[in-house]
Amino acid sequence: MNIIRQHKTTSLFFFLLIIAGILNLLTKTSSSLVNTLMFCANFMIYIGLIVLWAYTVKDRILPTKTRAYMLASSGFMIIYLLQRVFRYRVVITSMFVYRSMAYVYYIPLVMIPSLLFATAVNLGLGNKRSGRTVEKIIIATACVVSALALTNDLHHIVYVPKVALSEFNMGNNTYSWGIGFYIIYGWMIFALVSGALILFSIVGKNGKKPIIFLVGTVVTWIVLCSIHALVFERFSIVRPYFKPEIDCFSMILIFECCIRSRLIPHNENYKGFFEKLRLPFLITDKELNAVHASNMSLNVTAEDMEKAKTEPFYPDKDIRLSSMKIRAGYAFWTENEHELHEQRNRLKEANELLSEENDLIAVENKLKEQKAHIEAQNQVYERITAAIYPKQKRVEEILNNVEPEAESFAAALGRVCVFNAYSKRKSNLLLLSEDNLPPNNRELYLALAETCRFLKCCGIDAAAVGEEYSSLPLEAVNKLYDTFEIVTETYLESAARMTVSILPDGVRIAMEASNEQKLPETVLPVECKESDGLLYFTIRYEAEEKAV
């Protein structure tokens, strides 16, 4: 009795199921009125029990695919029972309707095991992409297999009539089974076995009791189906239940096993659930009266809950009170944010320290940048010093060895001007870099022109002529200017006139000299030719590149 009181709904369900079986036995009396009344009561109890179970499923199970599959199964169970009523009780004269109801019989017969299979896959794989794909394949296959039976009049691959279609009433010796029949039953067996195996493997993880219950249900279903086929149908014995009822309520028991073993999460015993919950949680009615509370108390007042209805409220600096509107009232819960605040304080201190370190790093990077800039400048100055030091040394020697009153002072001063012009222009070229040198520039022409201008101080009629712009790289400009300087310095005593022009790949010098001098070692190769009393010097930058 204690068990019955604890499971009132389940006890009532089985009691009504037993009553329905007794009523089914009373449909075989000699009174047609009693038979009809018993049949209607029997049918209404079956439909009512299925609807009641579907209603409890909708109320207990969260809105998931599993619930959708179970509700769909309940709908096909009703179709399963209705088709038998239409076939044997409502329409018995129409050959087409009678035959169509036989085809409709296969729709729930295929869909219910398929939905069980899809439910098992959903429970086993959860919401994974592979699980969703398999579920779609199962439902699509079930629809196709069901359509085979429903459209049998078009193709005759499930039932092959041996008589004319207009006379085909599914009677004995009027048909033979086609390949579609075996496909349908093969899919049904595959879906049932696969679904059962998946459920056994999952339920087994929750202990022995759930799996014993599930195995017992499946075995009972098989035994009842065997007794129905081998005893009741074979010997035409009056039976309390037909096969559709056995199938439907056995399937309900299988689903209930999954629910009550918590394989499918449900809302039963929510009061006990909340009492054992180790979280500060409270459910109230609309007047904020406590209805269900967890083991851990919230320690908040009604005023605090009123403030938390619209936005989170802090009754304490470390306690956050949050709420959610539910159908019958409100749900309140608290969160201890002490550790979060501690982490925020530590993070704030770390950010401050990091900010200071970033400032130091920024200053250090700036100093490094300045140091690198100074070092780069020093390297440039060292190159300039190394390049012009020999010239400045010679200038110093010339000025030390000549007296202003001497006749050679003017010639010596001219030499000094030429050397200083080279020093100035060489310094300008060394201050340049490939990055700030334009692709088409006048730097080489300006250097040559300035040297030519000061060569006049030495009595040499010199000039730079021709194209002013060139596209030579900076390295070529320096080497060409250095080589030009060596040539002009060698012919300072003997040259009378000179012109210099820029070639695409070098420099051309035309010179009138009293005699030909031997050139010292030059930076770039110098090609010298004589024609009509003039010397022609050609300095090519590419000549060195080819030699290399």
Q: Residue written as tokens 């679904």?
A: 195
What is 56-73 written as a DSSP string? HHHHHB-SSHHHHHHHHH
Token pair 């579920």 is found at 135
Distance CA 282, CA 295 (A): 10
- Secondary structure element (H or E) that encloses residue 302, with its range: helix 302-308
**Other beta carbons less than 10 A from residue 409's beta carbon:** 13
pTM, 2 dp: 0.52
CA separation, residue 292 to residues 269, 330, 334 (Å):
12, 11, 15
Which secondary structure element, helix H or strand E, spans residue 529, and what is its range?
strand 526-531
Long-range contacts of 375-379 (CB under 8 A, 24+ apart): none
Along the 548 residues of the chain, how does pLDDT read in single tens digits? 444 444 677 888 888 989 988 988 888 888 888 888 888 898 899 999 999 999 888 877 777 788 889 999 999 999 988 888 877 777 666 788 778 888 888 899 899 999 989 988 888 776 678 878 999 999 999 999 999 989 998 888 998 988 888 778 777 788 888 999 999 999 999 998 898 888 878 766 666 777 777 788 888 888 888 887 888 777 778 788 888 888 888 888 888 888 877 777 666 555 555 666 667 777 888 888 877 777 777 778 888 888 888 888 888 887 888 888 876 788 888 888 878 888 888 888 888 888 888 888 888 888 778 777 777 666 767 777 776 777 777 777 777 777 777 766 777 777 788 888 778 877 777 777 777 778 888 888 888 888 898 888 888 889 999 888 888 888 888 888 888 888 888 888 888 899 999 998 899 999 988 888 888 888 889 999 988 888 899 999 874 444 44
Phi, psi of 266 (to 5 degrees): -140, 175
pLDDT in tens, 35-65: 888 888 988 999 999 999 998 888 777 777 8
Angle separating helix axes 65-85 and 243-260, nearest 10 degrees = 170
Q: Which two tokens mark 143?
A: 């629809």
**Strand 495-503 with 461-465, pairing:** parallel
Per-position DSSP letters for 218-248, written without gaps between them = HHHHHHHHHHIIIIITTTT---S--HHHHHH
Residue partners of 214: CB distance under 8 A and separation at least 6: 199, 200, 203, 254, 257, 258, 261
Which residues, in sequence order, are CB contacts of 277 under 8 Å at separation 6+?
Answer: 294, 295, 296
Contacts of 57 (CB under 8 A, 6+ apart): 67, 70, 71, 74, 255, 259
Show the domains of the chain with their CATH numbers: 13-203 (no CATH), 271-336 (3.40.1840), 402-547 (3.30.565)
Segment 257-268, tens digit of pLDDT: 888 777 776 665
**Sign (positive or negative) of CA dihedral 104, 154, 145, 129:** negative
DSSP 8-class letter at 204: G
